[in-house]
A = this chain, B = another copy of it.
Amino acid sequence: MEITAIPRSVRASFKQLSDLFLLAEGGYLPVRGFQGSREVRHVAETMHLTSGEPWSIPIILPISAEEASALRGAEEVLVRDPDDRPAGRIHIEEIFPLDKSHYARHVFRTEDSEHPGVAWLASAGEYSVAGPVKLEPGWRLELRGGLPYAPSEVRSRIAQRGWKKVVGFQTRNPIHRAHEFVTKVALETADGLVIHPLLGETKSDDTPVEVRLACYRALLDNYYSPGHTMIAGFPAWMRYAGPREAIFHAQVRRNYGITHLIVGRDHAGVGKFYGPFDAQRIFSQFAAGELGIEPIFFDTVHYCRKCAAMTSPKTCPHGAEHHVSLSGTAVRKLLSEGQTLPPEFSRPEVARILLESGAHA
């Protein structure tokens, strides 16, 4: 990040533009702006705002020491996108040095630089600028795929369909049969399902967005009931904060009109930083109704040849020798060898796209 020619402006990364967009569009309500030092510390320590409402991940706009100096005395800062277009404005309430160690310890539960969230924070500016935001007229976050992604757009589409109980599914991966199963299990007792892929930044070794979008389209066209399913984009970026990010994913989805969020095994986790069910257990730290959205928890899911169905340890009595389940590593190995994925693991239409994309090769 560097200071642009015009003073009193900062150039933001795609990550921070995601946050700017979601703040301005009501995606982060009750949060309406980048948070100040007291709020950041309080959220990190308590998972609540100083006003008492729940909130699990501090929303910051890191800037360099040089940018911080250049902004001294300013009331407002213009945020520019990577193409130098004016994206939005922040009414400056505070510019403060970030306590990165405090943030990482609380939010990521680690300061290990192998953690992609910790690595991002380490590489980010040392200061943050806080205050309420608005978008510049005409500017809009650009997301691939042509899906609706503003909270109000998605809310109004849900309202048009008259859905009351609405399940949301967060994903940053292709949807294999295990994921399809959990979405359909949840949908069986709901009115509608929003497949809500995260389209903001992810790790470079995650499946590219274009490939994922093609997979989602193939799956929806062939295996979901259009009257009860929609797909929308989720413009947030991945923090890989595991449990904290599961709470964040739930609260932001509430602002999209979703009433129930699926939380599976190791939701928003990475490597071995979180236990497989930490992101489910954390919900018990909030009072009933406090988050304004209900989580739906799932155990590990696999195909069982004896059951001839997708199952979990809750519903299947058969041993692992009857189960079809592949690790991420096994999937990458099969695809890199030019082999297709088994139909019990992935729909043929999806497996073909992954094989032909060479994304895992």
Contact A317 B223 (CB under 8 A): yes
Roughly how many angstroms separate A185 CA and B187 CA in the complex, as a whole number?
10
Do B298 and A224 have beta carbons less than 8 Å apart? no
**Tally of chain A residues near chain B (CB < 8 A):** 31
Bound-state Cα–Cα, A75 to B228, Å = 60
Give every chain B residue within 8 A of A184 (Cβ-Cβ).
Answer: 309, 311, 315
Per the 8 Å Cβ criterion, residues 218-244 of A in contact with B are: 222-226, 228
Q: Please tell me how many copies of the chain the complex holds.
A: 2
Interface: A74 (CB within 8 A): no
Chain B residues with CB under 8 A of A297: 189
Q: Bound state CA distance, A225 and B298, in angstroms? A: 16
Q: Within residues 268 to 284 of chain A, which ones have a CB less than 8 A from any CB in chain B? A: none
Please give, as numbers and ranges, the residues of chain B lying within 8 Å of A124 by CB-CB distance: none
Would you give the shortest CB distance from A321 to chain B, in whole angstroms? 16
A296 to B296, CA, bound (A): 14
> A186 at the A/B interface (Cβ < 8 Å)?
yes
A188 touches B (CB below 8 Å): yes
| A317-B185 CB under 8 A given contacts A309-B309, A309-B310 | no
A330 interfacial contact with B, CB 8 Å: no
Chain B residues closer than 8 Å to A187, beta-carbon distance = 314-315
Interface string of A299-311 (1 = CB under 8 A from B): 1000000111111
Query: 11 pairs across A/B with beta carbons < 8 Å?
Result: A184-B315, A185-B185, A185-B188, A188-B314, A188-B315, A189-B296, A222-B306, A223-B316, A225-B313, A225-B316, A228-B315
Which 7 residue pairs across A and B have the least CB separation, nearest first? Answer: A184-B315, A228-B314, A225-B317, A185-B185, A185-B188, A189-B296, A187-B314
